[in-house]
Structure 1
Amino acid sequence: MIGEMIMTMDMINNYGRKFLDWFMSKLGSIAIALIFLAVCFKVIKIIVKLLRKAFDKSRLDKSVAGFFISAIRVLLQFLVILTAASMVGFQITSFITLLGTAGVTIGLALQGSLSNLAGGVLILILKPFKVGDYIVENSTHCEGVVVSIDIFYTRLRTYDNRTIVIPNGTISNTSLVNISGRGTNRVDVKFSVAYESDLSKVKQVVLDVVDTIDGHMTDKPVEFFIEEFGESGIEMYVRFFTPFEKSYDAKREALWKIKEAFDANGIEIPYNKLDVNIKSDGQEKA
């Protein structure tokens, strides 16, 4: 036991003498490296302050600005520390190689997450939509009101109060429709009338209904037109504008009131009919 303690003490003394000899031989380099670190860290603080002022004057989102400032600060500090280590005499080439290999490995393992991170940053910078907008994502056909934009995911709330979570990488790499981007929305109502209907009367009845719709913007034009001649009737459209938040209810109200108005004015809505003819004893009966 005593012999092992003596050997341990000798090893500690040996390492201590080696470290002291190395430290004394590198004392000048260490002093220069410490001064270099102090000066460079001061310069980094000045650069960060200038960047923060520049971002404050721009329209860049605060969360994006904070992300960029933090990333730049960490990168500059890392480079300064590596430079100071090389000044003391450390071989940083192998360390950089190892770090690069580890970075590639981690990047491949987290490819999906990094794609979502990059997509989140792009969304925050380019702002194709914001919280409160109603969007339709075309690749998955998900739609709803944007309730949050996180770094990795965007969350939507549907009309039936469900929450949809979409990866930012998916949103940034596909097309989408921002329905509420301009604050108003066009309501398209499609309906059919029989070929025997008086089209002038149909138009007047429908336009009168549109005037009663809650949220109808009277300063916007109302479109009324025939889309096509169908097998059973004439396919028609009426289009009008409402504030975005009232567009969903406005379409349901318009459909309800158009049906009531057609019934009140004797306008027929066509539907498929099947006539069955039965032949019995050589005579045809309907």
Structure 2
Amino acid sequence: MDPQVLLDQYGPEAMQAGIRIAGSLAIILIGYWFAKLFSGLCRKALAKREFDATLSNFIAKLLFFFVLALAVVPALAHIGVQTASVIAALGAAGLAVGLALQGSLANFAAGVLLIAFRPCRVGDWVDAGGCSGTVESISLFQTTLLTADYKRITIPNGQVMSDAITNYSVMPRRRIDLVVGISYDSDMKKAKDILKQLVEADERILKDPAATIAVTELGESSVNLICRPWVATADFWPVRWQLTESIKAAFDDNGISIPFPQMDVHFDKTA
């Protein structure tokens, strides 16, 4: 067949197809440029608000692909592709993937909430998901704790967010709660004075708020006293251990006995 005849027959259609393809590519390139622009602006805005880097990068990438998808759809329509069927197919595929990854998506959503609202941060000592430890990392799907005996515990974020999170490190000070029992024949006032002296002698114990020393209960075998001093969070365990030891030693030196559970059995000789 004569090339001129082919050119006359198919040339206009080929030129129109080329123009449509070039227009579609231009739309995608412009969409890609806008996607990069909005993604970068989003990342900078979140960085100024001191958002977590993991969450910031995820949101920026999500925005990038969303804007790019908005450009791809009209680009396909420009070259004559029926976008309604494409969108329906993508929706069905997304639904199927969502059902298959239901548990993972729940962990992901919980991870976003953990990173966004920050009930705990790396380095905090927490009770979370039924476990206790120092937060080593928080990712989009799981949280990692290090226990006091240096075991690593990996908890799905859905489990972390499904229960209360107790953060022991977030506040600058903590209260030590000690209950000390003395026998009924011991000098109660003297015992309280000893507790007060021990609290005042330790420089790590805060003066404000003041420590609480009082009788809390008349138990079955002891008079129970409470000693509740306030300390900096970092000093909680050292002060608690030292104060407990000092109370025992001071009570022994001053003749104040700390009773232990016991049972007296009386035999009736007349039976």
TM-score where L is the length of structure 2: 0.86
Retained in 1: the 8 A contact 2:35–2:65?
Answer: no
Any conservation in 2 of the 1:146–1:155 contact (CA below 8 Å)? yes
What RMSD in Å do the two structures reach over aligned CA positions? 2.4
Question: Which residue of 2 is the match for residue 3 of structure 1?
Answer: none
| Separation (CA, whole Å) in 1 of partners of 2:263 and 2:13 | 102
Q: Which residue of 2 aligns with 1:4?
A: none
| From 133, 136, 139, the counterpart of 1:147 | 136
Confirm or deny: 8 A CA contact 1:187 1:241 kept in the other structure: yes
Does residue 91 of structure 2 align to residue 100 of structure 1?
A: yes
Aligned mates of 1:275, 1:44 — CA distance in 2 = 82
Name the amino acid aligned to 1:202: A
Q: Give, in angstroms, the shift of residue 215 of structure 1.
A: 3.2
The percent of aligned pairs where both chains have the same amino acid is 31
Q: How does 1:164-243 map to 2 (within 5 A)?
A: 164-213=153-202, 215-243=204-232
Structure 2 gaps, min length 5: 1-9
SS in 1 for 2:105: helix
Distance 1:49 1:187, change over 3 A: same
In 1, are the aligned partners of 2:35 and 2:63 still within 8 Å (CA)?
A: no
Which residue in 1 is equivalent to 2:37?
46
Give the drift of 1:75: 1.4
Paired residues of 1:214 and 1:250 also in contact (CA < 8 A): no
The one-character-per-residue Cα deviations of 1:155-191 (angstroms, maximum 9, x if unpaired) are 1222222222221112223221211102322111112
Indicate whether 1:246 and 2:238 are aligned: no
* Local SS of the residue matching 1:175: coil
Match of 1:83 in 2: 74
> In the alignment, what sits opposite 1:14?
none
Distance 2:13 2:232 in 1: 76
Cα contact 1:194–1:234 (8 A) shared by 2: yes
The superposition leaves residues 53-111 of structure 1 with CA deviations (integer Å, 9 ceiling, x where unpaired) of: 32232232222211111110011112211220111111232222222222122112211
Q: Does 240-249 or 101-110 show the bigger shift? A: 240-249
Change (3 A) 1:246 1:40: same
Q: Distance in 2 between matches of 1:97 and 1:231?
A: 74
Equivalent residues of 1:132, 1:145 under 8 A apart: yes
Q: Is 1:61 equivalent to 2:19 in the alignment?
A: no
Among 17, 20, 23, the alignment partner of 1:26 is 17
The amino acid across from 1:109 in the alignment is A
Task: Name which of structure 1's ranges 79-88 and 34-43 shifts more when overlaid on structure 2.
Answer: 34-43
Shift of 1:266: 0.9
* Residues 38 and 191 of structure 1: CA distance in aligned 2, closer, same or farther (over 3 Å): same
Return the offset for 1:133: 1.1
SS of 1:26's partner is helix
- Which stretches in structure 1 are left out of the alignment for 5+ residues? 1-18
CA contact (8 A) 1:213 1:253 kept: no
Give the whole-Å Cα distance in 2 for the aligned partners of 1:21 and 1:135: 71
Distance 1:273 1:40, change over 3 A: closer
- Does 2:116 correspond to 1:122? no
The answer on whether the counterparts of 1:189 and 1:254 sit within 8 Å (CA) in structure 2 is no
Runs of 4+ in 1 over 4 A off after TM superposition: 19-25
CA contact (8 A) 1:135 1:145 kept: yes
Distance between the aligned counterparts of 1:88 and 1:64, measured in 2? 37
Q: Name the aligned partner's letter for residue 259 of structure 1.
A: K
**Structure 1 residue 198 displacement after superposition:** 2.0
Per the normalisation by structure 1, the TM-score is 0.82
- Measure the CA separation in 2 of the matches of 1:242 and 1:183: 9
